[in-house]
Amino acid sequence: MNYLVYAGFLLLWGWILAAGYIRYVLPFIESAYDSLESMEKSGETFPRIIAFLSKIIMSGAQMYLLGIWSAYCVLRTMIFLRAPGTSGWLYYITAFLICEGVLGIVAKREKYRGLLSVFHSAMAMGLFVIFALNPYFLASVYPWLPPLVKFSFPR
């Protein structure tokens, strides 16, 4: 029963994340990319540099935002593994599949506009493995998230 609560909870929040990101965040990002593409097509050097730097900043911001989901999945897994009688491999594999599935749904909806338009999705997917193998790195990247989900790292 504990496993079903765990998996159901991750699926519910994954659905909320995917629907919310696709419906509310993605249109804003797409319009920003449209504006940046028109700046690049102007042919002038300065607008092209500004557009490229803006794409890098947007990609980093999107990676940080989507990485919260990977961090959340790892933290929820660590919380549920504290219960007696739980097996780590089943919970981590489930979290990995749900996390990557939700991020894949989000990535599939994004329009391909070169490497920087998919870099953030690939990095957010990779963050799950990084955080699962080194949870203390998670605490350094998102120091506000563990207290939010009522998790404390052993010292």
Distance CA(44)–CA(142), nearest Å, equals 39
Distance CA(24)–CA(20), nearest Å, equals 6
Q: Tens digit of pLDDT for each residue in 45-82?
A: 898 999 999 999 999 999 999 999 999 999 999 999 98
Residue type, 125: M
Query: Could you tell me the pTM of the whole model?
Result: 0.90
Is the dihedral angle over the CA atoms 136, 138, 141, 146 positive or is it negative? negative
CA dist 92 → 9, 54, 122, 129 (Å): 14, 35, 19, 10
What pLDDT does 74 receive? 96
Q: Are 69 and 15 in contact (CB under 8 A)?
A: no
Q: Are 128 and 110 in contact (CB under 8 A)?
A: no
Distance from first CA to last CA of the chain, Å, rounded?
Answer: 31
Higher-pLDDT residue of 86, 95? 95
Q: Tens digit of pLDDT for each residue in 113-133?
A: 888 888 999 999 999 999 999
